[in-house]
Amino acid sequence: MAKENVKEPKGSKLDAKKRAEYQTDLVQAESWDTSGWSTWIVTGRVLPERCDVNVGAVISHGVGAGGRYRVRLEV
């Protein structure tokens, strides 16, 4: 068998490749099947408690070495 010489990109070319893969995964975020994902609900207080705070829901998606995540933040 002939040995194939496949060069992996390095430096900025590797960064560009990883960024492209990341962007591709994020574009598909709405179609992710999150039904089997772990869910955490974090509750707490806003300090100092001198005023009313109201922040509408913000949803963020990400892909990293630990996997994919979807975060919904609402105050």
| Per-residue pLDDT tens over the stretch 8-19 | 778 888 888 888
Q: Is residue 32 part of a domain?
A: no
How many structural domains is the chain composed of? Answer: 1
Q: Is residue 67 part of a domain?
A: yes
- Answering whether pTM is above 0.75, one says no
Q: How far apart are CA 16 and CA 14, in angstroms?
A: 5
Q: Is residue 75 part of a domain?
A: yes
| Residue 61, number of CB atoms within 10 A of its CB | 15
Q: Is residue 68 part of a domain?
A: yes
3-state secondary structure of 12: helix
Q: Which domain holds residue 62?
A: 50-75
Q: Is residue 65 part of a domain?
A: yes
Q: Is residue 34 part of a domain?
A: no
Q: Is residue 74 part of a domain?
A: yes
Q: How far apart are CA 62 and CA 29, in angstroms?
A: 8
pLDDT 10s digits, 27-74: 888 888 888 888 888 887 767 777 777 788 888 888 887 788 888 887
Residue 63 burial (CB < 10 Å; 0-12/13-18/19+)?
middle
Nearest to 67 by CA among 41, 40, 34: 34
